């Protein structure tokens, strides 16, 4: 039995957002979501199980992590230990490959890579769909990082069928320009933000209804490779999600002044005939969905307002895979 494995998982950006849980223990979402896996941003994680270890340990970018971070990882690995019926402790070493200053810490690639490595290291042989239900228990968005291209996280009816489904390899002139916007105030964590929104925002039920339609529409756009429609639905869905937060009590927003600068730049490009569409997550960064062949032109326009190190061009990425020495 192999007792160690190293797996790479890429992060993903939701085009139809996950915002709110119907079950906080099992990370079951209120609505299905759909994302694009990104080529440039990923996590490599090595997991070793060994009888010689008396406790789990966790190293991130070469630094030993404290008790709180390690406990989070331990709790997640417990899911795999239960499945394998083993008490073996693990050493986890993760390297986050995120371009400098991107400000895009990602639990999606982290938990997908850890899930993939734990699965292989324990010889569990979980198929990707089942594996995605495990990744989900670490972080909702990690469910989708198991696969590459466009991926749906089907909300399902219970823990066993709330999993990721590959939709399309996105290999049709699709790109994304990430605008890393400086953050001034400390953000509300996505976990707390979504909970507050579900519990207090009067806009929330409308969001859930609207997201149901958006996911059907975006899948139709993907099926016909209709980029304009894909972009329109993406931008509108993200705006609706951010709208729910303005209705929460107390209200909150992740937007910074520079987020608006990036949005206006994308809108101006659109008026000039370059199709590009924005989406934002639980932070001030703006992601511009575009034709990969036009990404450099879009970057040029953004360079009028942002420095080079804040702009990252990426294309769709692959699903998780084992790294062999
Ligand atoms: C998404 N976000 O679909 C949405 C859009 C942020 C905005 O998934 O509580 O870290 O670990 O399940 O996955 C960020 O939330 O939250 C997120 P948990 P997660 O990508």
How far, CA to CA in Å, does 148 sit from each of 13, 144, 152, 179? Answer: 11, 8, 11, 22
Q: Is the CB of 238 under 6 A from ligand 1?
A: no
Supply 255's token pair: 């937007």
User: 317 near 42, Cβ under 8 Å?
Assistant: yes
Supply 269's token pair: 């490009």
Residue 106 confidence (pLDDT) = 78
Q: Are 235 and 94 members of one domain?
A: no
- In angstroms, rounded to a whole number, what is the distance separating the alpha carbons of residues 256 and 238? 16
Give which of 6, 13, 9, 3 is closest to 287, Cα–Cα: 13
User: 179 near 302, Cβ under 8 Å?
Assistant: yes
Which residue from 76, 281, 289 has its CB within 8 A of the most atoms of ligand 1, so it is best to mutate?
281
DSSP string, 43-78: EEEEEEEETT-SS-EEEETTEE--HHHHHHHHHHHH
**What is the number of residues in the chain?**
325
**Dist. CA 167 → ligand 1 center (Å):** 20
Quote the radius of gyration of the chain (alpha carbons, Å).
19
Alpha helices by DSSP H, listed for 98-203, are 107-121, 128-136, 190-200
Instruction: Write down which residue in 128, 147, 169 finishes a domain.
Output: 169
Which residue from 26, 43, 141 has its CB within 8 A of the most atoms of ligand 1, so it is best to mutate?
141
Give which of 52, 51, 72 is closest to 60, Cα–Cα: 72
Residue 100 confidence (pLDDT) = 53
Q: Are 66 and 138 members of one domain?
A: yes
Total domains present in the chain: 2
ipTM above 0.90, yes or no: yes
Q: Is residue 222 part of a domain?
A: yes
Instruction: Write down which residue in 144, 169, 194 finishes a domain.
Output: 169
Q: Running DSSP on this structure, what letter comes out for residue 181?
A: P
Which residue from 18, 142, 154, 286 has its CB within 8 A of the most atoms of ligand 1, so it is best to mutate?
18
Average pLDDT per block of 10 residues along the chain, 325 residues long? 89 97 98 97 97 97 96 98 98 86 75 98 98 98 98 98 98 97 80 97 98 98 98 98 98 96 98 97 95 98 96 97 91
Beta strands 57-60 and 89-97 are: parallel
Q: Is residue 57 part of a domain?
A: yes
Q: Domain range for residue 10?
A: 4-169
What is the 3-state composition of the chain as percent helix, strand, coil, each rounded to the nearest 5? 40, 25, 35
Give the atom of ligand 1 at the shortest distance from the alpha carbon of 281. 7
Could you tell me how many helices (H) and strands (E) the chain has, helices first? 8, 14
Residue 2 confidence (pLDDT) = 62
Q: Is the CB of 191 under 6 A from ligand 1?
A: yes
Question: Residue 301: which CATH number?
Answer: 3.30.70.890
Inter-helix orientation angle 107-121/67-84, to 10°: 40
């Amino acid at each position: 039995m192999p007792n160690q494995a190293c797996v790479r998982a890429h992060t993903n950006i939701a085009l139809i957002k996950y915002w709110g849980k119907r079950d906080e223990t099992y990370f079951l979402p209120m609505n299905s979501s759909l994302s694009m896996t990104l080529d440039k941003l990923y996590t490599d994680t090595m997991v070793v199980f060994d009888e010689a270890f008396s406790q789990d340990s966790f190293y991130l970018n070469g630094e030993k992590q404290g008790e709180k971070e390690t406990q989070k990882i331990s709790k997640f690995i417990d899911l795999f230990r239960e499945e394998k019926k083993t008490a073996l402790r693990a050493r986890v070493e993760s390297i986050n490959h995120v371009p400098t200053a991107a400000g895009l810490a990602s639990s999606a690639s982290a938990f997908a890579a850890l899930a993939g490595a734990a699965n292989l290291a324990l010889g569990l042989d979980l198929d990707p769909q089942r594996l995605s239900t495990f990744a989900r228990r670490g972080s909702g968005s990690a469910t989708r990082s198991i696969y590459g291209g466009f991926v749906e996280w089907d909300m399902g009816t219970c823990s066993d069928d709330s999993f990721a489904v590959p939709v399309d390899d996105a290999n049709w002139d699709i790109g994304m320009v990430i605008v890393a916007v400086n953050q001034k105030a400390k953000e509300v964590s996505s976990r707390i933000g979504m909970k507050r929104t579900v519990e207090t925002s009067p806009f929330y039920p409308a969001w859930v209804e609207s997201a149901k339609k958006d996911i059907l529409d975006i899948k139709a756009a993907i099926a016909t490779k209709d980029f304009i429609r894909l972009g329109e639905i993406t931008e509108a869905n993200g705006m609706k999600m951010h709208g729910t937060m303005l209705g929460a009590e107390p209200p909150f927003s992740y937007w910074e002044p520079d987020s608006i600068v990036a949005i206006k730049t994308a809108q101006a490009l659109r008026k000039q005939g370059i199709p590009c569409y924005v989406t934002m997550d639980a932070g001030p960064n703006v992601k511009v969905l575009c034709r990969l062949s036009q990404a450099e032109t879009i970057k040029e326009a953004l360079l009028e307002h942002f420095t080079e190190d804040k702009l990252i061009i990426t294309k769709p990425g692959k699903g998780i895979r084992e790294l062999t020495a």
